[in-house]
Amino acid sequence: MKSSPFTLTKQKLSKKAAAAKKARDISAAKSTKRKARKKENQALGQRSDSDLHHTKSGSVVRVSVKKNRGNFGKGTKNE
In this predicted model, what pLDDT tens digit does every residue of 30-41 receive, in sequence order? Answer: 999 889 888 888
Q: What is the pTM of this model?
A: 0.52
pLDDT tier, 67 (very low <50, low <70, confident <90, very high otherwise): confident
Residue 12 lies in a domain: no
The range of the structural domain enclosing residue 46 comes to 18-73
Contacts of 46 (CB under 8 A, 6+ apart): 52
Residue 42 lies in a domain: yes
Residue 78 lies in a domain: no
End-to-end CA distance of the chain: 25
Phi-psi region of 37 (alpha: psi -120 to 50; beta: other; left: phi over 0): alpha
pLDDT of residue 24 exceeding 70, the answer is yes
Contacts of 70 (CB under 8 A, 6+ apart): 76
Q: How far apart are CA 47 and CA 59, in angstroms?
A: 18
- Which amino acid appears at position 33 of this protein? K
Residue 59 lies in a domain: yes
Tally of domains within the chain: 1
